[in-house]
Chain A
Amino acid sequence: MGHSRFVYVIIIHSTREKIWEALTKPEFTRQYWAGTTQKSDWKKGASWGAYTPDGRLWDTGEILESDFPHRLVLTWRNEHFPDMKAEGFTKLTYVLEDDPLGIKLTLTHEVDVANSKLIEAVSGGWPSVLSSLKTFLETGTPLPNSEKWPEGL
């Protein structure tokens, strides 16, 4: 069995609390994360779902760890694409730490599948989402390329 992993680090001028809220609350995610929202009560063991702007369930999972505002771990399976769904549950970890330049957000998205299609797909998406999150938190406005859900999906 192989492993696929995507890691991204970004430093944001904000607080850990504000970054956590921006990552989890629908009123924030829909502004910078392609109009999407997530539903969960964000406690360990709680179910988690990500929804398209028109309300379709896109990804599902469960909260594995929730240590506000330091560390959030959840399982994540795509529900839309059969080949990605067949890969099973991936694991997403957010870690928020102090850094001399601001708050350091480290995102790790991984699965015990070699050459995972889901990890390949999110590797293209995360830099855009997190770049927009940073711009949103630092300037109040997201990046224009990340506001809309892709047409036809």
Chain B
Amino acid sequence: MSSQYLYVTYIRTTPQKLWDALTSPEFQRKYWFNMHQESSWKAGSPWKMMFSDGRVADAGEILEADPPRRLVIKWRNEFNPELKAEGWSRCVYEIEEDAGVVKLTITHAIEKEKAKLIEAVAGGWPKILSSLKTYLETGTPLPRPIA
């Protein structure tokens, strides 16, 4: 059995800008809970997600990279022993363009029934991607001050 989380969002941007926002540490820090990721974003290269204080949150490897269309990351939690014990998950980003809008599909899956990791990321992805969307469309991530 497996567990899977799927999220689709539509963003007024270009595939290249979205790819850059997803892979560049300066952009990530603005919308990803002040975290950033380190990788050369090529198939086979190592990947890790860092907390702002330098601890490693998640780590893995780039399985596929076809900029600016598709990215597949082998992903394991590193800071929570229970989540780490679930082993490797697989996160797929798919980017498609349609009529001036970019569709981003995130599929995060693991070969384990009722995985705690998938439950955890299911809470995080909507917040990260809502902030990313606002950032790309307005230049400012969430939260924004109420006018």
Contacts and interface: CB of A to CB of B under 8 A. Distances in A.
**Residue from B7, B142, B146 having most chain A Cβ neighbours under 10 A:** B142
B98 interface: yes
Interface stretch (B17-25, B77-85, B110-118, B132-140): B132-140
Interface string A1-26: 00000001111110100000000000
B130 A102 contact: yes
Report the 4 A-B pairs with minimum CB-CB distance, sorted nearest first.
A11-B130, A131-B10, A9-B126, A127-B8
Given A11-B127, A102-B143, A146-B10, 14 more contacts: A8-B126, A11-B131, A101-B142, A102-B142, A102-B144, A131-B9, A132-B10, A134-B134, A135-B133, A138-B138, A139-B12, A139-B137, A143-B101, A144-B100
Interface residues of A, number: 23
23 contacts: A8-B126, A9-B126, A13-B143, A15-B146, A99-B127, A101-B131, A101-B142, A102-B142, A102-B143, A102-B144, A127-B10, A128-B8, A131-B9, A132-B10, A134-B130, A134-B133, A135-B133, A138-B137, A138-B138, A139-B138, A143-B10, A143-B12, A144-B101
Main secondary structure of the interface of B (DSSP, over half): mixed
B61 to A, nearest CB: 29
Interface of B: 7-12, 98-101, 126-127, 130-131, 133-134, 137-138, 142-144, 146
A152 interface: no
Interface in A44-100: 99-100
A40 interface: no
A115 interface: no
